[in-house]
Structure 1
Amino acid sequence: MPRTIYNTATTLDGFLADDSDSLDWLFVVPQGHDGFPAFLDTIGAIVQGSTTYEWVVRHEDLIAHPEKWPAFYGARANWVFTTRDLPAIPGAHLRFVSGAVAEHWSDIAESAGDRDVWIVGGGDLAGQFADAGLLDEVRVSVAPVTLGSGRPLLPRRLESDRLRLESVTQNGQFAELAFSVRSPDAA
């Protein structure tokens, strides 16, 4: 079975995006080494919510420039959880689904093959995986930015009996934290 990893960046005050769903704050923070390509090599399937998908499509103008898609996600299976119709990127391996994450888990896991599943965002979707006992790890890059409000990192209550700090590293101005996540049944 693949592991499910929520790997994202957040502000110091725990927000993924501002009140307008923008990630512009993220791209002005200096980074050090880029370990992202090595992480992406371990990923067989990607899961994201509709707001995250819409932001990437809009920010990169992917409807007009679908050739940019591989730079983000490659040829990996990409699952978008949504309750509305969204535009598809020509040539992208996309599956638009709705409902409980557990209903789609076996198909997502199968599409990942012998690699892991990356939850790109958002926080509520990662929380749904945690609620279902399907979240194995949270990797958070904390930026020296505060927004005061916006989209929360993980709008769920997860107590310390479910989260275990596994590592802390510095990447430029980011503090990278990795936590293992225990299933609610095991906590």
Structure 2
Amino acid sequence: MTRIVYNTASSLNGYIADDDNSLDWLFAVESGEAPDHGTFMRDIGVIVEGSTTYEWVLSSTKLMENPEKWTTFFGETPTYVFTSRELPIPEGADVRLVGGEVLDHLDEIVTAAAGRDVWLVGGGELVGQFYDIGALDEIQISVAPAALAGGAPLFPRTTEPGDLELTEVKRFGDFVHVCYSVQSDPS
């Protein structure tokens, strides 16, 4: 059964990107042992992200100049990018630009996942839209030992006690990885 999983890294004070929409701060933190990304990706049938996240990935990894890297990073996994404008797509990448409401594309995304999980990469507002319609199953956060003065918030929504159930806590070097199961339908 397809689950929709938000898996991301965050600063101690709840930001996933800095004021310049960059994740460079994150990669400056020594991670030691990190969660096994390859194992995580084996369960992923679709990747979903917002346009700011997608543009940062393209820029920071120079994917337009080196499109063969796409497969190295994401394999053949379809990627849905929520955007209100046209964006470049690396040659050979299965990137699907979509606009509008999450609910308008949810059935298509779940169908494309073919029984595997959907990875919500970010940003937080897009993830919040999945939460708002009761379509978020799990939140996985790797908390970095760094604080940011501002930026893109991790999860700009209000939850009530009991809405999230802690299911796992692990240490990876100076990071702590926590998993929460979403318990209630907020609508």
Give the TM-score of the pair, scaled to structure 2.
Answer: 0.96
Alignment of 1:81-160 (within 5 A): 81-160=82-161
Residue 55 of structure 1: CA displacement? 0.2
Deviation at 1:62, TM superposition (A): 1.0
What per-residue deviation string (whole Å, max 9, x for no partner) do you get for residues 18-58 of structure 1?
Answer: 00001011112122334111111110100000000000001
- Describe the SS at the equivalent of 1:138: strand
Question: SS at the partner of 2:68?
Answer: helix
State yes or no: 1:69 paired with 2:70.
yes
1:32 is the counterpart of 2:32: yes
How far apart in 2 are the matches of 1:26 and 1:11?
A: 8
Name the count of aligned residue pairs: 186
SS at match of 1:179: strand
- 1:13 has 2:13 as partner: yes
The question of whether the paired residues in 2 share the 8 Å contact of 1:79 and 1:95 is answered with yes
SS of aligned partner of 1:111: helix
- Note the alpha carbon deviations across 1:78-98, whole angstroms, 9 max, x for none: 000001111111100111001
Give the Cα–Cα distance (whole angstroms) in 2 for the partners of residues 185 and 130 of structure 1: 7
What RMSD, in angstroms, separates the aligned Cα atoms of the two structures?
1.2
Residue type at the aligned position of 1:110: T
1:46 is matched with which residue? 47
Residue 161 of structure 1 and its aligned partner are, at CA, apart by 2.3
Shift of 1:182: 2.4
Partner SS state of residue 83, structure 1: coil
Shift of 1:185: 5.2
CA contact (8 A) 2:133 2:186 kept: no
| Counterpart Cα distance in 2 of 1:24 and 1:160 | 33
State the percentage of identical aligned residues. Answer: 48
Work out whether residues 46 and 78 of structure 2, in 8 Å CA contact, stay in contact via their aligned partners in 1.
yes
Q: Which aligned pairs between 1:144-183 and structure 2 lie closer than 5 A? A: 144-183=145-184
For residues 121 and 129 of structure 1, the distance between their equivalents in structure 2, rounded to whole angstroms, comes to 11
Secondary structure in 2 matching 1:130: helix
Distance 1:50 1:158 in 2: 25
Which moves more between the two structures, 67-76 or 32-41? Answer: 32-41
- Checking the alignment, whether the CA contact within 8 Å between 2:132 and 2:186 is kept in structure 1 is no
Q: Distance in 2 between matches of 1:100 and 1:131?
A: 11
Q: In structure 1, what residue type is equivalent to 2:164? A: L
Measure, in 2, the Cα distance between the counterparts of 1:94 and 1:183.
31
- The Cα of 1:114 is off from its aligned counterpart by 2.0
Note the residue ranges of structure 2 that are not aligned, 5 or more in a row: none
Q: Is the 8 A contact 2:131 2:186 kept in 1?
A: no
Unaligned runs of 5+ in 1: none
